[in-house]
Amino acid sequence: METAKTIYLGELRTQATHLRSGNTLITDAPLDNKGKGEAFSPTDLLATSLGSCAMTIIGIAARAHGFNVDKTIIRITKIMAENPRRVGEVVMEFDFPQQTYSDKEKAIIWNAAKTCPVYLSLHPDLVKTIRMNFQDSL
């Protein structure tokens, strides 16, 4: 079954539709690549997908082990590389809520982040930097 349908709207912009839900999103080329930068660029989506996937797998692991990671914020930075133009690094900085996590729970969180399907699908040359900010460690 198809996952999505994408239409090129012109002016370096696309509209993608998730076929099962009907949800749509717009992409725009970034300012540094002839675009208007008025929406996520395709490479922004790649970086965002990594963060969302890692957080989803962390959430699944937390639920399975009986602890909570609700309200965790992920700050994602995409760093481009040249020759060829590509995403060279994605930095994911996780800010966990005001809660104390045991060493075991922290290990579960770290492992989940590094084993999400997007993380494992990306080329090994892409640097994937993870920072975990636990409130009890600040």
- Secondary structure in 3-state letters for 31-73: HHHCCCCCCECHHHHHHHHHHHHHHHHHHHHHHHHCCCCCCCE
Q: What global pTM score does this model have?
A: 0.92
**How high is the pLDDT of residue 72?**
97
One pLDDT digit (tens) per residue for the chain, 138 residues: 999 999 999 999 999 999 999 999 999 999 999 999 999 999 999 999 999 999 999 999 999 999 999 999 999 999 999 999 999 999 999 999 878 999 999 999 999 999 999 999 999 999 999 999 998 754
Q: How far apart are CA 96 and CA 82, in angstroms?
A: 33
109: nearest Cα among 49, 52, 56, 47: 56
Instruction: Report the pLDDT value the prediction gives residue 86, as an integer from 0 to 100.
Output: 96
Domain assignments of the chain as residue spans, ordered by start: 4-33, 42-137
Q: Reply yes or no on domain 42-137 having CATH 3.30.300.20.
A: yes
Q: Is 87 within 8 Å of 122 (Cβ atoms)?
A: no
